[in-house]
Structure 1
Amino acid sequence: MEPTVIFLIGSAGSGKSTIGKLIASEYHFCYLDKDIVCNKFTGRLLESNGYSPHDRDGNAFYSDVVMGLEYQTLLDIANDNLQLGRSVVLDAPFLGYFANKDYIRQLKETYGWTHVKPLVVQVTIDFDVLKERMQARGLERDAWKFDNWDAFVQGIKEKQCLWEDIEIIQLDNSPAVVDIEKLRQTLPFEQSPGPSANPLA
Protein backbone atom coordinates (compact mmCIF):
# COMPACT_ATOMS: atom_id res chain seq x y z
CA MET A 1 0.00 0.00 0.00
CA GLU A 2 1.62 3.24 -1.14
CA PRO A 3 1.82 6.15 1.31
CA THR A 4 0.12 9.45 0.48
CA VAL A 5 1.52 12.96 0.86
CA ILE A 6 -1.24 15.55 1.17
CA PHE A 7 -0.34 19.13 0.29
CA LEU A 8 -2.87 21.02 2.41
CA ILE A 9 -3.00 24.46 0.85
CA GLY A 10 -5.07 27.57 1.43
CA SER A 11 -4.78 31.09 2.76
CA ALA A 12 -3.72 32.00 6.27
CA GLY A 13 -6.71 31.68 8.60
CA SER A 14 -8.66 29.38 6.27
CA GLY A 15 -8.63 26.54 8.80
CA LYS A 16 -5.92 24.37 7.27
CA SER A 17 -4.70 23.29 10.69
CA THR A 18 -8.19 22.19 11.80
CA ILE A 19 -8.71 20.22 8.59
CA GLY A 20 -5.20 18.79 8.62
CA LYS A 21 -5.46 17.56 12.21
CA LEU A 22 -8.84 15.97 11.49
CA ILE A 23 -7.43 14.10 8.50
CA ALA A 24 -4.33 13.03 10.43
CA SER A 25 -6.38 11.84 13.38
CA GLU A 26 -8.98 9.94 11.40
CA TYR A 27 -6.55 8.26 9.01
CA HIS A 28 -3.52 7.98 11.31
CA PHE A 29 -1.39 10.16 9.03
CA CYS A 30 1.68 12.06 10.21
CA TYR A 31 0.78 15.78 10.57
CA LEU A 32 3.45 18.41 9.84
CA ASP A 33 2.66 22.10 10.28
CA LYS A 34 5.31 24.39 8.77
CA ASP A 35 4.72 26.99 11.48
CA ILE A 36 5.35 24.47 14.26
CA VAL A 37 8.37 22.99 12.48
CA CYS A 38 10.03 26.31 11.59
CA ASN A 39 8.58 29.35 13.39
CA LYS A 40 11.03 29.54 16.31
CA PHE A 41 14.07 29.24 14.06
CA THR A 42 12.60 31.61 11.47
CA GLY A 43 11.87 34.21 14.12
CA ARG A 44 15.44 34.11 15.43
CA LEU A 45 16.86 34.25 11.90
CA LEU A 46 14.76 37.31 11.08
CA GLU A 47 15.77 39.03 14.32
CA SER A 48 19.46 38.31 13.73
CA ASN A 49 19.16 40.17 10.42
CA GLY A 50 17.40 43.21 11.88
CA TYR A 51 13.76 42.31 11.27
CA SER A 52 10.81 41.64 13.52
CA PRO A 53 10.37 37.89 14.16
CA HIS A 54 6.87 38.26 12.66
CA ASP A 55 7.99 40.18 9.55
CA ARG A 56 7.25 37.77 6.71
CA ASP A 57 4.69 39.35 4.37
CA GLY A 58 6.41 41.71 1.94
CA ASN A 59 9.86 40.95 3.40
CA ALA A 60 12.36 40.21 0.61
CA PHE A 61 14.87 38.65 3.03
CA TYR A 62 12.23 36.17 4.20
CA SER A 63 11.00 35.31 0.70
CA ASP A 64 14.46 35.12 -0.89
CA VAL A 65 16.47 33.46 1.89
CA VAL A 66 14.36 32.00 4.68
CA MET A 67 11.26 30.59 3.00
CA GLY A 68 13.13 28.07 0.87
CA LEU A 69 14.89 26.72 3.96
CA GLU A 70 11.55 26.33 5.73
CA TYR A 71 10.02 24.30 2.92
CA GLN A 72 13.12 22.19 2.41
CA THR A 73 13.12 21.31 6.11
CA LEU A 74 9.41 20.48 6.05
CA LEU A 75 9.77 18.28 2.97
CA ASP A 76 12.86 16.50 4.30
CA ILE A 77 10.97 15.51 7.47
CA ALA A 78 7.99 14.44 5.37
CA ASN A 79 10.21 12.31 3.15
CA ASP A 80 11.66 10.44 6.13
CA ASN A 81 8.11 9.47 7.14
CA LEU A 82 7.07 8.57 3.60
CA GLN A 83 10.11 6.31 3.18
CA LEU A 84 8.93 4.46 6.30
CA GLY A 85 5.51 3.97 4.70
CA ARG A 86 3.81 6.66 6.79
CA SER A 87 1.37 8.93 4.97
CA VAL A 88 1.83 12.63 5.66
CA VAL A 89 -0.29 15.79 5.81
CA LEU A 90 1.74 18.91 4.98
CA ASP A 91 0.08 22.02 6.44
CA ALA A 92 1.71 24.96 4.64
CA PRO A 93 0.56 27.63 2.16
CA PHE A 94 3.01 26.72 -0.69
CA LEU A 95 1.85 29.96 -2.37
CA GLY A 96 5.32 30.82 -3.58
CA TYR A 97 5.47 27.57 -5.56
CA PHE A 98 2.03 27.65 -7.20
CA ALA A 99 3.28 29.07 -10.51
CA ASN A 100 5.75 26.22 -11.05
CA LYS A 101 3.77 23.67 -13.05
CA ASP A 102 6.53 21.08 -12.62
CA TYR A 103 6.77 21.44 -8.83
CA ILE A 104 5.34 18.01 -8.01
CA ARG A 105 7.33 16.28 -10.72
CA GLN A 106 10.48 17.93 -9.37
CA LEU A 107 9.72 16.75 -5.83
CA LYS A 108 9.13 13.21 -7.08
CA GLU A 109 12.49 13.26 -8.81
CA THR A 110 14.34 14.87 -5.89
CA TYR A 111 13.01 12.45 -3.27
CA GLY A 112 12.50 9.37 -5.44
CA TRP A 113 8.77 9.25 -4.76
CA THR A 114 8.06 6.40 -7.15
CA HIS A 115 5.93 4.68 -4.49
CA VAL A 116 4.28 7.84 -3.07
CA LYS A 117 0.88 9.25 -4.08
CA PRO A 118 0.77 13.09 -3.95
CA LEU A 119 -2.60 14.79 -3.41
CA VAL A 120 -3.63 18.44 -2.98
CA VAL A 121 -6.43 19.36 -0.59
CA GLN A 122 -7.17 23.05 -1.10
CA VAL A 123 -9.04 24.67 1.78
CA THR A 124 -11.18 27.59 0.60
CA ILE A 125 -13.19 30.07 2.65
CA ASP A 126 -15.48 33.08 2.25
CA PHE A 127 -13.33 36.22 2.63
CA ASP A 128 -15.65 37.88 5.19
CA VAL A 129 -15.46 34.74 7.32
CA LEU A 130 -11.69 34.67 6.81
CA LYS A 131 -11.30 38.21 8.15
CA GLU A 132 -13.43 37.42 11.22
CA ARG A 133 -11.38 34.31 12.03
CA MET A 134 -8.07 36.10 11.59
CA GLN A 135 -9.23 38.92 13.86
CA ALA A 136 -10.33 36.37 16.45
CA ARG A 137 -6.96 34.60 16.51
CA GLY A 138 -5.10 37.89 17.06
CA LEU A 139 -1.66 36.96 15.69
CA GLU A 140 0.99 39.66 15.29
CA ARG A 141 2.06 38.26 11.94
CA ASP A 142 -1.41 39.10 10.53
CA ALA A 143 -0.91 42.86 11.00
CA TRP A 144 0.33 43.39 7.43
CA LYS A 145 -2.66 41.46 6.07
CA PHE A 146 -5.17 43.71 7.87
CA ASP A 147 -3.28 46.86 6.87
CA ASN A 148 -3.31 45.71 3.23
CA TRP A 149 -6.51 43.66 3.19
CA ASP A 150 -7.59 44.34 -0.40
CA ALA A 151 -4.12 43.50 -1.70
CA PHE A 152 -4.02 40.38 0.48
CA VAL A 153 -7.36 39.13 -0.87
CA GLN A 154 -6.40 39.97 -4.45
CA GLY A 155 -3.17 38.04 -4.01
CA ILE A 156 -5.10 34.96 -2.90
CA LYS A 157 -7.39 35.23 -5.92
CA GLU A 158 -4.50 35.63 -8.32
CA LYS A 159 -2.27 32.86 -6.97
CA GLN A 160 -3.83 29.74 -8.43
CA CYS A 161 -2.15 26.37 -7.98
CA LEU A 162 -0.87 25.40 -11.44
CA TRP A 163 0.78 22.12 -10.45
CA GLU A 164 0.48 19.31 -12.96
CA ASP A 165 0.53 15.56 -12.41
CA ILE A 166 -1.50 15.77 -9.17
CA GLU A 167 -5.16 15.61 -8.16
CA ILE A 168 -6.54 18.78 -6.51
CA ILE A 169 -9.54 18.46 -4.17
CA GLN A 170 -11.42 21.62 -3.13
CA LEU A 171 -12.82 21.80 0.41
CA ASP A 172 -14.94 24.78 1.55
CA ASN A 173 -14.27 25.51 5.22
CA SER A 174 -16.58 28.53 5.60
CA PRO A 175 -19.10 26.86 7.98
CA ALA A 176 -18.45 27.36 11.70
CA VAL A 177 -18.23 23.61 12.25
CA VAL A 178 -16.47 21.14 9.96
CA ASP A 179 -18.88 18.70 8.33
CA ILE A 180 -17.16 15.40 9.13
CA GLU A 181 -19.41 13.39 6.84
CA LYS A 182 -18.66 15.72 3.92
CA LEU A 183 -14.97 15.40 4.69
CA ARG A 184 -15.28 11.60 4.57
CA GLN A 185 -17.05 11.74 1.23
CA THR A 186 -14.55 14.20 -0.24
CA LEU A 187 -11.34 12.35 0.58
CA PRO A 188 -10.49 9.40 -1.71
CA PHE A 189 -9.18 7.05 0.98
CA GLU A 190 -10.63 3.56 1.19
CA GLN A 191 -7.61 1.71 2.56
CA SER A 192 -7.87 -1.01 5.12
CA PRO A 193 -6.64 -0.16 8.64
CA GLY A 194 -2.85 -0.10 8.80
CA PRO A 195 0.14 1.96 9.83
CA SER A 196 -0.17 4.45 6.98
CA ALA A 197 -3.89 5.16 6.96
CA ASN A 198 -7.13 4.17 8.60
CA PRO A 199 -10.56 4.67 7.06
CA LEU A 200 -13.03 6.85 8.88
CA ALA A 201 -15.24 4.91 11.26
Structure 2
Amino acid sequence: MKPVLIFLIGSAGSGKSTIGKKLATEHHFCYLDKDVVCNTFTGKLLETQGYSPHDRDGNTFYRDIVMDLEYETLLNVANDNLQLGRSVILDAPFVGYFHKSDYIDTLVSKYGWEQVIPVVLRVDVNVDVLEQRLRTRGLERDRWKLEHWDTFVQGMKANVCTWENMQLISVDNSSEEFELEQLTSLLPLSVTSC
Protein backbone atom coordinates (compact mmCIF):
# COMPACT_ATOMS: atom_id res chain seq x y z
CA MET A 1 0.00 0.00 0.00
CA LYS A 2 1.16 3.53 -0.74
CA PRO A 3 1.98 5.83 2.20
CA VAL A 4 0.20 9.17 2.39
CA LEU A 5 2.06 12.42 3.01
CA ILE A 6 -0.23 15.10 4.41
CA PHE A 7 1.02 18.68 4.22
CA LEU A 8 -1.00 20.26 7.03
CA ILE A 9 -1.09 23.97 6.28
CA GLY A 10 -2.87 26.95 7.78
CA SER A 11 -2.23 30.01 9.86
CA ALA A 12 -0.77 29.91 13.34
CA GLY A 13 -3.78 29.55 15.62
CA SER A 14 -5.97 27.88 12.99
CA GLY A 15 -6.00 24.65 14.98
CA LYS A 16 -3.97 22.63 12.50
CA SER A 17 -1.89 21.02 15.26
CA THR A 18 -5.02 19.87 17.09
CA ILE A 19 -6.46 18.43 13.88
CA GLY A 20 -3.14 16.86 12.90
CA LYS A 21 -2.72 15.17 16.26
CA LYS A 22 -6.28 13.83 16.18
CA LEU A 23 -5.74 12.43 12.68
CA ALA A 24 -2.39 10.92 13.64
CA THR A 25 -3.89 9.29 16.74
CA GLU A 26 -6.94 7.96 14.92
CA HIS A 27 -5.04 6.57 11.92
CA HIS A 28 -1.59 5.89 13.43
CA PHE A 29 0.22 8.33 11.15
CA CYS A 30 3.63 9.66 12.05
CA TYR A 31 3.10 13.26 13.20
CA LEU A 32 5.93 15.75 12.63
CA ASP A 33 5.54 19.32 13.86
CA LYS A 34 8.17 21.65 12.38
CA ASP A 35 8.34 23.67 15.59
CA VAL A 36 9.05 20.60 17.70
CA VAL A 37 11.57 19.22 15.19
CA CYS A 38 13.40 22.51 14.60
CA ASN A 39 12.75 25.13 17.33
CA THR A 40 15.78 24.26 19.45
CA PHE A 41 18.33 24.80 16.70
CA THR A 42 16.35 27.65 15.11
CA GLY A 43 16.30 29.57 18.37
CA LYS A 44 20.05 29.11 18.82
CA LEU A 45 20.79 30.18 15.24
CA LEU A 46 18.71 33.32 15.68
CA GLU A 47 20.44 34.14 18.98
CA THR A 48 23.88 33.81 17.34
CA GLN A 49 22.85 36.71 15.09
CA GLY A 50 21.52 38.84 17.96
CA TYR A 51 17.81 38.08 17.42
CA SER A 52 15.24 36.77 19.84
CA PRO A 53 14.85 32.97 19.51
CA HIS A 54 11.19 33.67 18.54
CA ASP A 55 11.93 36.34 15.90
CA ARG A 56 10.76 34.81 12.61
CA ASP A 57 8.10 37.09 11.14
CA GLY A 58 9.76 39.82 9.09
CA ASN A 59 13.27 38.55 9.93
CA THR A 60 15.39 38.37 6.75
CA PHE A 61 18.06 36.15 8.39
CA TYR A 62 15.37 33.62 9.27
CA ARG A 63 13.75 33.83 5.83
CA ASP A 64 16.98 33.72 3.79
CA ILE A 65 19.11 31.31 5.86
CA VAL A 66 17.27 29.38 8.56
CA MET A 67 13.89 28.59 6.99
CA ASP A 68 15.26 26.29 4.27
CA LEU A 69 17.30 24.41 6.90
CA GLU A 70 14.16 23.85 8.97
CA TYR A 71 12.14 22.50 6.07
CA GLU A 72 14.96 20.33 4.77
CA THR A 73 15.33 18.80 8.23
CA LEU A 74 11.58 18.20 8.51
CA LEU A 75 11.39 16.63 5.04
CA ASN A 76 14.41 14.39 5.72
CA VAL A 77 12.74 13.01 8.84
CA ALA A 78 9.50 12.52 6.90
CA ASN A 79 11.41 10.73 4.13
CA ASP A 80 12.87 8.19 6.57
CA ASN A 81 9.33 7.26 7.62
CA LEU A 82 7.88 7.27 4.10
CA GLN A 83 10.69 4.97 2.89
CA LEU A 84 9.55 2.53 5.58
CA GLY A 85 6.01 2.68 4.16
CA ARG A 86 4.70 4.83 7.01
CA SER A 87 2.23 7.62 6.34
CA VAL A 88 3.20 11.06 7.66
CA ILE A 89 1.52 14.30 8.68
CA LEU A 90 3.73 17.39 8.32
CA ASP A 91 2.49 20.20 10.54
CA ALA A 92 4.19 23.28 9.10
CA PRO A 93 3.04 26.45 7.34
CA PHE A 94 5.07 25.93 4.10
CA VAL A 95 4.01 29.50 3.14
CA GLY A 96 7.47 30.37 1.82
CA TYR A 97 7.09 27.64 -0.80
CA PHE A 98 3.50 28.26 -1.94
CA HIS A 99 4.62 30.19 -5.03
CA LYS A 100 6.54 27.18 -6.39
CA SER A 101 3.90 25.37 -8.44
CA ASP A 102 6.31 22.45 -9.02
CA TYR A 103 7.14 22.06 -5.31
CA ILE A 104 5.54 18.60 -4.99
CA ASP A 105 7.18 17.40 -8.21
CA THR A 106 10.56 18.64 -6.94
CA LEU A 107 10.14 16.70 -3.68
CA VAL A 108 9.02 13.56 -5.52
CA SER A 109 12.13 13.75 -7.70
CA LYS A 110 14.51 14.56 -4.84
CA TYR A 111 13.28 11.85 -2.46
CA GLY A 112 12.01 9.21 -4.90
CA TRP A 113 8.42 9.58 -3.70
CA GLU A 114 6.79 8.08 -6.80
CA GLN A 115 4.79 5.72 -4.54
CA VAL A 116 3.79 8.44 -2.03
CA ILE A 117 0.33 10.03 -2.16
CA PRO A 118 0.71 13.78 -1.48
CA VAL A 119 -2.26 15.55 0.10
CA VAL A 120 -2.50 19.18 1.17
CA LEU A 121 -4.88 19.64 4.08
CA ARG A 122 -5.54 23.36 4.50
CA VAL A 123 -7.11 24.45 7.78
CA ASP A 124 -9.04 27.71 7.43
CA VAL A 125 -10.47 29.86 10.20
CA ASN A 126 -12.44 33.10 10.47
CA VAL A 127 -10.02 36.02 11.11
CA ASP A 128 -11.90 37.21 14.21
CA VAL A 129 -11.75 33.72 15.69
CA LEU A 130 -8.08 33.50 14.72
CA GLU A 131 -7.22 36.79 16.47
CA GLN A 132 -8.98 35.66 19.64
CA ARG A 133 -7.16 32.31 19.61
CA LEU A 134 -3.76 33.98 19.22
CA ARG A 135 -4.50 36.44 22.03
CA THR A 136 -5.76 33.66 24.30
CA ARG A 137 -2.75 31.40 23.83
CA GLY A 138 -0.39 34.34 24.46
CA LEU A 139 2.75 32.98 22.80
CA GLU A 140 5.79 35.19 22.24
CA ARG A 141 6.05 34.02 18.63
CA ASP A 142 2.58 35.52 17.94
CA ARG A 143 3.46 39.01 19.15
CA TRP A 144 4.45 40.37 15.74
CA LYS A 145 1.26 38.98 14.17
CA LEU A 146 -0.95 40.68 16.76
CA GLU A 147 0.97 43.96 16.69
CA HIS A 148 0.75 44.06 12.87
CA TRP A 149 -2.66 42.43 12.55
CA ASP A 150 -3.84 44.04 9.30
CA THR A 151 -0.51 43.33 7.59
CA PHE A 152 -0.54 39.75 8.88
CA VAL A 153 -4.11 39.12 7.65
CA GLN A 154 -3.39 40.66 4.23
CA GLY A 155 -0.29 38.50 3.89
CA MET A 156 -2.20 35.41 4.99
CA LYS A 157 -4.92 36.03 2.38
CA ALA A 158 -2.35 36.73 -0.34
CA ASN A 159 -0.45 33.49 0.28
CA VAL A 160 -2.18 30.99 -1.97
CA CYS A 161 -0.75 27.51 -2.39
CA THR A 162 -0.06 27.01 -6.12
CA TRP A 163 1.26 23.44 -5.88
CA GLU A 164 0.34 21.00 -8.63
CA ASN A 165 0.00 17.21 -8.68
CA MET A 166 -1.52 16.74 -5.24
CA GLN A 167 -4.96 16.48 -3.69
CA LEU A 168 -6.12 19.65 -1.88
CA ILE A 169 -8.63 19.39 0.95
CA SER A 170 -9.87 22.49 2.81
CA VAL A 171 -11.59 22.41 6.19
CA ASP A 172 -13.08 25.30 8.18
CA ASN A 173 -12.04 25.10 11.81
CA SER A 174 -13.78 28.27 13.05
CA SER A 175 -16.22 26.49 15.36
CA GLU A 176 -15.39 24.74 18.62
CA GLU A 177 -16.74 21.45 17.26
CA PHE A 178 -14.68 19.66 14.63
CA GLU A 179 -15.95 16.61 12.76
CA LEU A 180 -12.97 14.28 12.43
CA GLU A 181 -15.08 11.59 10.77
CA GLN A 182 -16.13 14.00 8.00
CA LEU A 183 -12.50 14.95 7.34
CA THR A 184 -11.41 11.31 7.41
CA SER A 185 -13.92 10.49 4.68
CA LEU A 186 -12.15 12.98 2.37
CA LEU A 187 -8.65 11.56 2.87
CA PRO A 188 -7.06 8.61 0.98
CA LEU A 189 -6.58 6.56 4.15
CA SER A 190 -6.86 3.01 2.84
CA VAL A 191 -3.09 2.82 3.00
CA THR A 192 -0.42 1.65 5.42
CA SER A 193 0.14 3.82 8.50
CA CYS A 194 2.79 3.69 11.26
TM-score relative to the length of structure 2: 0.97
Q: What's 1:152 paired with? A: 152
Deviation at residue 177 of structure 1 after TM alignment: 2.4
Deviation at residue 185 of structure 1 after TM alignment: 2.8
Q: What's 1:7 paired with? A: 7
Q: What's 1:24 paired with? A: 24
One-letter code aligned to 2:111: Y
CA separation in 2, counterparts of 1:132 and 1:100?
31
Unaligned runs of 5+ in 1: none
Does residue 1:139 correspond to 2:169, yes or no? no
Q: Deviations over 1:127-185 (max 9, x none)?
A: 00001111111100111101110010001110000001111000111111222232233
Q: What's 1:169 paired with? A: 169
Q: What's 2:58 paired with? A: 58
One-letter code aligned to 1:48: T
CA separation in 1, counterparts of 2:98 and 2:19?
20
CA separation in 1, counterparts of 2:137 and 2:187?
28
Q: What's 1:81 paired with? A: 81
How many residues get paired? 194
Q: Find the residue that maps to 1:61 and give its secondary structure.
A: helix
Deviation at residue 32 of structure 1 after TM alignment: 0.0
Question: What does 1:35-46 align with in structure 2 at a 5 Å threshold?
Answer: 35-46=35-46
Q: What's 1:93 paired with? A: 93
Q: Find the residue that maps to 1:189 and give its secondary structure.
A: coil
Q: Find the residue that maps to 2:110 and give its secondary structure.
A: helix
One-letter code aligned to 2:170: Q
Q: Deviations over 1:42-87 (max 9, x none)?
A: 1111001110111100000000000000000000000000000000
Say which is worse superposed, 181-190 or 131-140, in terms of deviation: 181-190
CA separation in 1, counterparts of 2:184 and 2:5?
17
Does residue 1:116 correspond to 2:92, yes or no? no
Say which is worse superposed, 150-159 or 170-179, in terms of deviation: 170-179
Contact 2:4 2:188 in 1 (8 A): no
TM-score relative to the length of structure 1: 0.94
Q: Find the residue that maps to 1:93 and give its secondary structure.
A: coil
One-letter code aligned to 1:128: D
Give the fraction of aligned pairs with identical amino acids, expressed as a percent: 61
Q: Find the residue that maps to 1:14 and give its secondary structure.
A: coil
Q: Find the residue that maps to 2:174 and give its secondary structure.
A: coil
